[in-house]
Amino acid sequence: MSKEVRTIERRALRIMQNPEMPVYLFALAAEEVGQVSDVARISRDEAGKLIGYQRPERRSHVKQILEYLDSGDVLFPNGLILALPETVKFRASRGPATSDGLSTSGVLEIPIPESDDAPRPAWIVDGQQRSLALSRTKNSRMPVPIAGFVAPTLAMQREQFLRINTVAPLPSNLVTELLPEVFAAPSPRLSARRLPSALVDMLNQDPDSPFRGLIKRASSDGIERKRAVVTDTGLVEALKESLESPAGVLFPYRNMALGTTDTEGIRRLLLTYWTAVRELFPEAWGKPPTQSRLMGGVGIRAMSRLMDRVMVHVAVESADAAEVTRKELGRIAPLCRWTDGAWSEIGLPWNELQNTPRHISALSNYLARAYVDARAGKK
C-alpha cells in the first residue's frame, strides 16, 4: 500500500489572468516557505547545459532582512512568487458568493516531501533573498503573502523570472545568459539581445572558438571565473550592433522577411575572424583587461566594428579564409598597442584606454581609418 502524500492546505484565491495558467494568492508561515520551495541557482552541468536561473545569495541583503524580521513588530507585505508543480490541487469553495468575477476562493493543496533531503515541489521565481531570511527568522509562524503559478517547465520559470525582474533590473550578465534559454523574450529590448546572447554562449562553449572558457558568465564557478577575462555583456552589444546595422557584416545573415537566421554562417565568420585576431596578437590574448586592453570592453567593441570592414573582403566558405583574414588584419597589426606603448594617433597610453563610449568610438574610428588607408595603399 503506497504512502499517503503529505500536503499543506491553505485558503487561497484563484485568479484566471491566463486560461491555462491560474495565479493563486495565499499565505504560508515563514517556516513553511523552505518546506515548500527552493532556489534554482544558475550554473551549468558537466555537459555545459545551463541549469537554474537565480543569482547568488547576497549575504548582506539577507542579513538586513533577517534583522528586521527578528526586531519585534513586523510589517512584511513583500511577498514571494513561486513556480508551483502541476501536482497542486485547487478546490473551489461551494456557494454563490465564492467568486466575484475576478477571483474564486477555495483551498489550495501543495504536496510536500516527507524527507528534508527530498526535492521541494516549488521554485522561488522572485524573492530568493527574502526567502533565505524567512527560513532563518525566529518569527517562524509569521504569515507570508505568496503568489504562485503552475509552471511545468524550467523554460517557463525562466521567462517569468525575466519578466518579473524587469522593474528591478537583474545583473546584465545574468540576463545575457538566460535569454537564449527562454521561449519568448519578455520585451522588445530583450528580444533584440536574444540572438547575440545565444552567439556569446556558442563562443564560450564551442571547442573551435578562441573565446572558449574566456567569457565571464553568471553561471561560472570559482575556477572558471579565474580563467575568464572577457565580459559577456560587451560581446553581446558588439554582436547586436553588427546584426542590426545594415552596415554590419552579420546583418545579411538574417532574413527579415522569413524570420530566419543563418546561424552556422555567423558561427563560421565569427570563429574565422576572432581566431585570426588571437593569432595576430598572441601576447595580448587571454589576459585580463588590466594587462591587455584587447580583452577589455574597449578592445572587443573596436575590433568587432573592424570586423564589419575586414570580413566583407573574405569569402568565409573558401579554403583560404583564415589566411586571407590574417592578411587583412595584418594591415593594422603594427599600429596596435594592446599591452604596452601608446596609441599615438589617439594620444593615449595603452592602459589609459577605458571602456567608455568616447574611447570606444575613438579607437574604432582610428582602426577603421588605418585599415581603409592601408587597403588603398596610402600607408
* Range of lowest pLDDT (37-51, 87-101, 267-281, 307-321): 37-51
Q: Are residues 176 and 152 in the same domain?
A: no
Domain stops at, among 164, 197, 221: 164
**Grid cell digits, residue 243:** 546584426
pLDDT of residue 210: 95
Give the CB-side neighbour count of residue 110, counting CA atoms within 13 A. Answer: 29
H helices, E strands: number in the chain: 12, 16
99, burial (CB in 10 Å: exposed 0-12, middle 13-18, buried 19+): middle
pLDDT of residue 155: 61
* 3-state secondary structure (DSSP) of residue 336: coil
Whether 332 is in a domain gets the answer yes
Q: Are residues 135 and 241 in the same domain?
A: no
Q: Are residues 265 and 302 in the same domain?
A: yes
Q: Are residues 143 and 223 in the same domain?
A: no
Query: Higher confidence at residue 69 or residue 51?
Result: 69
* Range of lowest pLDDT (183-197, 320-334, 336-350): 183-197
- % of the chain beyond a pLDDT of 90: 40
Query: Higher confidence at residue 261 or residue 12?
Result: 12
Whether 1 is in a domain gets the answer no
Q: Are residues 141 and 203 in the same domain?
A: no
pLDDT of residue 180: 52
Q: Are residues 128 and 196 in the same domain?
A: no
Query: For residue 200, how many other CB atoms are within 10 A of its CB?
Result: 28
Whether 185 is in a domain gets the answer yes
* Range of lowest pLDDT (131-135, 243-247, 301-305, 325-329): 131-135
Those residues with Cβ within 8 angstroms of residue 9's Cβ, 6 or more apart along the chain or in another chain: 107, 108, 109, 110
Domain stops at, among 164, 181, 208: 164
Confidence band, pLDDT 50/70/90 cuts, at residue 50: very low
Those residues with Cβ within 8 angstroms of residue 111's Cβ, 6 or more apart along the chain or in another chain: 5, 6, 7, 85, 87, 88, 121
Q: Please name the amino acid found at residue 348.
A: L
CB 333 within 8 A of CB 307: no
For residues 38-43, give the mean pLDDT.
57
Residue 183 has pLDDT above 90, yes or no: no
Q: Are residues 240 and 221 in the same domain?
A: yes
Query: Higher confidence at residue 6 or residue 175?
Result: 6
Whether 125 is in a domain gets the answer yes
Residue 344 has pLDDT above 60, yes or no: yes
Confidence band, pLDDT 50/70/90 cuts, at residue 42: very low
Query: In the chain, how many domains are there?
Result: 2
Highest averaged pLDDT of the listed ranges 138-142, 148-152, 338-342? 338-342
Q: Are residues 134 and 222 in the same domain?
A: no
β-partners of residue 107 are 11, 91
Confidence band, pLDDT 50/70/90 cuts, at residue 94: confident
Residue 27 has pLDDT above 90, yes or no: yes
pLDDT of residue 43: 47
Backbone angles phi, psi at 25, to 5 degrees: -110, 125
Whether 348 is in a domain gets the answer yes
Query: If you average pLDDT over every residue of the chain, what do you get?
Result: 81
Domain stops at, among 108, 131, 164: 164
Query: Higher confidence at residue 87 or residue 349?
Result: 349
Cα–Cα distance, 369 to 364 (Å, whole number): 9
β-partners of residue 201 are none
Reported as a single tens digit per residue, the pLDDT across 184-238 is: 433 444 445 678 888 888 888 888 999 999 998 766 666 666 788 998 888 999 9
Residue 253 has pLDDT above 50, yes or no: yes
Q: Are residues 112 and 245 in the same domain?
A: no
* Residue of 24, 26, 199, 31 whose CA lies nearest to 131: 31
State the residue range of the domain holding 338: 172-375
Query: Higher confidence at residue 118 or residue 112?
Result: 112
Cα–Cα distance, 292 to 284 (Å, whole number): 5
DSSP annotation of 229 reads: -
Whether 2 is in a domain gets the answer no
For residues 281-301, give the mean pLDDT.
96
Q: Are residues 191 and 141 in the same domain?
A: no
pLDDT of residue 112: 83
109 alpha-carbon distance from chain centroid: 34
Q: Please name the amino acid found at residue 171.
A: P
pLDDT of residue 181: 47
- % of the chain beyond a pLDDT of 70: 78
Q: Are residues 189 and 135 in the same domain?
A: no
Cα–Cα distance, 283 to 178 (Å, whole number): 33
Q: Are residues 101 and 195 in the same domain?
A: no
Backbone angles phi, psi at 122, to 5 degrees: -120, 155
* Range of lowest pLDDT (54-58, 82-86, 338-342): 54-58
Query: Higher confidence at residue 108 or residue 65?
Result: 108
CB 25 within 8 A of CB 10: no
Cα–Cα distance, 260 to 205 (Å, whole number): 23
